[in-house]
Amino acid sequence: MADKPLITARDLSKIYRRGSEEVRAVDGVSFEAAAGEMVAIIGPSGSGKTTLLNMIGCLDNPTSGSLEVGGRQVFGGRKELSERELTLIRRELFGYVFQKFYLIPTLTVEENILLPGAFYRSPSAKEARDVMKLLGIERRYDHLPGELSGGEMQRVAVARALINNPKVVLADEPTGSLDSRRTEEIKGILRDLTRQGITVVMVTHNLDLARSADRLLEIRDGRIHKA
Ligand code: ADP
Ligand code: MG
């Protein structure tokens, strides 16, 4: 029997209202992703990629549609989840990587990595060291973000996304601020995560990175574009 998909999105839509105008940022998107699969979302600017990624990551709620992640009905169930339940789901299931890294400049590499765990399950220094090793930044543990290269900052951001052992890593243009060599490195790192069974969903403008994914969602005007 085939495993149940880790992510099942059905007819996800997000409508923003600007005065009397309606913006269908995401318009009926459905897809599935298995554990350990890499999904790339591509499409022109304003096509709804970030809105879709944020809904998958429970950072934004859909106007309609349903989402199941890791066997949990997140959206579209019989009962709407409370903000507290959503917060717990974010911490238990997801790690987030942003293009601009969002590292705290006054905290060391190690402290930045431990930060998402601090409000949740207080990971140990050893756990931080393990993810730093995984990403090859363990010698930078006591450096401040300002002392790092862009590639190193992105590795710290990925390490931070892993500290709570997520089932899904979400990345919005993870290589958008990196040169081609660093992009190749991050590509390899994301692929390694899938080998550990982590599902990676990323938005990217890098076609080479997108083509390396197991599943490619091309979005236009909020809808999946069929080639
Ligand atoms: P992308 O990431 O593909 O560039 P977005 O998901 O950011 O696209 O945006 C999709 C559409 O939704 C755009 O037309 C954008 O202007 C609109 N949009 C996004 N966020 C908001 C918001 N908070 N309020 C109103 N409109 C929004
Ligand atoms: Mg975007």
Q: How far apart are CA 76 and CA 126, in angstroms?
A: 39
CB atoms closer than 10 angstroms to residue 205: 14
Q: How far is the CA of 4 from the centre of ligand 1 (A)?
A: 31
Chain segment 142-177, per-residue pLDDT in tens:
999 999 999 999 999 999 999 999 999 999 999 988
Q: Per the domain annotation, does 20 fall within a domain?
A: yes
pLDDT at 201 over 60: yes
pLDDT at residue 60, as a whole number: 94
Q: What secondary structure, in 3-state letters, does 14-61 show?
A: EEEEECCEEEEEEEEEEEEECCCCEEEEECCCCCCHHHHHHHHCCCCC
Distance between Cα 45 and ligand 1 center (Å): 9
Question: Does 156 reside within a domain?
Answer: yes
pLDDT at 122: 84
- Percent of the chain scoring above 90 in pLDDT: 83
Tell me, yes or no, whether 224 lies in a domain.
no
Q: Assess whether the C-beta atom of 204 lies below 6 angstroms from ligand 1.
A: no
Rounded to the nearest angstrom, the gap between the alpha carbon of residue 214 and the centroid of all alpha carbons in its chain is 16
Q: End-to-end CA distance of the chain, in Å?
A: 30
Here the CATH number for the domain that contains residue 102 is 3.40.50.300
Q: Could you report the per-residue pLDDT of 45-89, keeping only the tens digit for each?
A: 999 999 999 999 999 999 999 999 999 999 999 888 999 999 999
> Whole domain around residue 46: which residue ranges?
7-219
Query: Residue 29's beta-bridge partner residues?
Result: 12
- CA torsion angle for 65, 94, 92, 156 (degrees, to 10)? -170
Q: What is the mean pLDDT of residues 189-204?
A: 96
21, 24, 49, 51: residue to mutate for ligand 1 pocket, most atoms within 8 A of CB: 51
Q: Which ligand has the nearest atom to the CA of 27?
A: 1
Query: Is 56 among the domain residues?
Result: yes
Q: How many domains does the chain have?
A: 1
Q: d(Cα 197, Cα 162) in Å, to the nearest integer?
A: 13
Amino acid at 170: L
Residue 146 lies in a domain: yes
- For ligand 1, atom 15: residue with the closest CA: 46
Mean pLDDT over residues 107-113, rounded? 95
| 115 occurs within a structural domain | yes
Average pLDDT over every residue of 32-53: 97
With respect to residue 2, please indicate whether it lies within any of the assigned structural domains.
no
